[in-house]
Amino acid sequence: MKRTFLLVALLAIFGSAFSAVSVYVVDNSKTIYSYTDVSGGGASTVTTALSFNGRGIDLYNGVLTVTIGDKRPQTWLNVNATTGSEVVISLGNCRMWASVVDQATGELYASMDNSNSYACRYADILGNSLVQATRDVEQGYDPGGDAAINGSKAFFTSYGGNSSGRYLWSLPLGFASGTVGVAEFDANPYGNSLSGIAFDGAGNVYLGVNNNSVIKLNSSFVYQSTIVTGLSNVKDVDFFGGELFVCNSLGVSVYSTAGAFSRTFGPTNATGLVIGGVAAPPTTVDFVCTVTLVDWNGASLPTVTVTVDGGTPVVKTLTGSGSSGTFTLSLTPVSHDIKVKAVKSLSQTVTGSGTTPAFMLQCGDTNDDNKIDDLDFLSVIGNFGSTDPVLKLIGDGNGDDKTDDLDFLNVIGKFGTSGT
């Protein structure tokens, strides 16, 4: 359903004028949706009249190949990505569960079954020149997972609720009939059912597990971590631009490779997606952020610590006067979580794609633990009125370099509050 992108091949297919990335999503209501960018923008419908519900989807030379799973003799659908016109490929008593097209050769690789399960490759997306491989190492895996190409191999996942549905296995591209698949990873004890598979180009592998999670493997197919959990009906996983795209019951949910949630778009119960085209350099815009320090009484504005989408904190200087100032971030024009904290204040997180987010930071956090509680109260009481150059700053919660009645009132009025 997806593959490691070869820019040279894609440029040959789409031409240098293809400056945006198109996202195609199929669901279980006979519909294919398209989006003009990976944020979910520019939504439109390719077709609402597929002959069958789609399971997975890939893109080759302007044609979307859609697997349909539990149907026979109909095997898969070829859909024009522009017009939505459909051609049904019927290849007898077999069912296709997952497929991927080699962008360099046009060959289609698929997991199939009739009375038995096996992998096969076709010379083209019309189903010509079948080459059938021996079934995978278990000689009885449960198909229905996903397919991907990485390097010189085609990879398949096994999908099922028992020991035959827990393997990631591979075959060499261009394999001959009778070639035996190689088991690359056994999902036990992480689960008995694999679905989506994606490679990030840096050697890491991401797998959908147990319909509800995504795990990460290294280039040696050794488990590293669980990236996402708590989802439902995870059917497909893709990787693009440093992000993971997960088809599930909510739609297409997007995460960082560390598991930080970004956004969800597309139809509910999405079953497959493909991201096609040559990506232009990421577009960034200026987010002009306004910060107001409530009850700040300092001679100048402090710096603020800013964290975007759970990343590495950076320090920004506020431009302004009094208790209000601004700073600027250069970010992609999609939804972000922006967290801001200043000294002696509670943090605030603003979520959204608006380019002028506003932050109201409550002063009074004398010990900078991001909450105003008994420790701050004791700090003010213990250092109240002190003229000692060190002690008078300990209970200072508003930046005026002294501990006095203003700090006392600040703590009392905001007692029990915390940053976000």
Q: Can you tell me the distance from the alpha carbon of 277 to that of 331, in angstroms, rounded to the nearest whole number?
A: 22
Strand order in the sheet with 236-240: 236-240, 243-248, 251-256, 261-265
Q: Is 65 exposed, middle or buried (0-12, 13-18, 19+ CB in 10 A)?
A: buried
Q: What is the pLDDT along the chain (420 residues), one digit of tens a residue?
A: 555 443 333 333 333 333 357 899 998 889 999 998 888 888 888 888 888 888 889 998 888 899 887 666 667 888 888 888 888 888 766 677 788 999 888 899 988 775 566 788 888 888 888 888 765 544 445 556 789 999 999 998 876 655 555 788 889 999 998 888 888 888 888 877 888 999 988 889 999 998 899 999 999 999 999 999 999 999 999 999 889 999 999 999 999 999 999 999 999 999 999 987 533 444 577 899 999 988 888 888 899 999 988 888 999 999 988 889 999 998 876 678 899 999 889 999 998 877 889 999 998 888 889 988 888 888 878 788 777 877 777 777 777 888 788 888 877 888 888 888
Q: Which of 414, 312, 403, 308 is nearest to 361 (CA)?
A: 414
Q: Can you tell me the distance from the alpha carbon of 383 to that of 381, in angstroms, rounded to the nearest whole number?
A: 6
Q: 290 and 254 in contact (C-beta within 8 Å)?
A: no
Q: Can you tell me the distance from the alpha carbon of 271 to that of 296, in angstroms, rounded to the nearest whole number?
A: 52
SS (H, E, C) the chain: CEECCCHHHHHHHHCCCCCCCEEEEEECCCCEEEECCCCCCCCEEEECCCCCCCCEEEEECCEEEEECCCCCCEEEEEEECCCCCEEEEECCCCEEEEEEECCCCCCEEEEEECCCEEEEEECCCCCCCCEECCCCCCCCCCCCCCEEEECCEEEEECCCCCHHHCEEEEEECCCCCCCCCEEEEECCCCCCCEEEEEECCCCCEEEEECCCEEEEECCCCCEEEEEECCCCCCCEEEEECCEEEEEECCEEEEEECCCCEEEEECCCCEEEEEEECCCCCCCCEEEEEEEEEECCCCCCCCCEEEEECCCCCEEECCEEECCEEEEEEEECCCCEEEEEEECCECCEEEEECCCCCEEEEEECCCCCCCECCHHHHHHHHHHCCCCCCCHHHHCCCCCCCCCCHHHHHHHHHHCCCECC
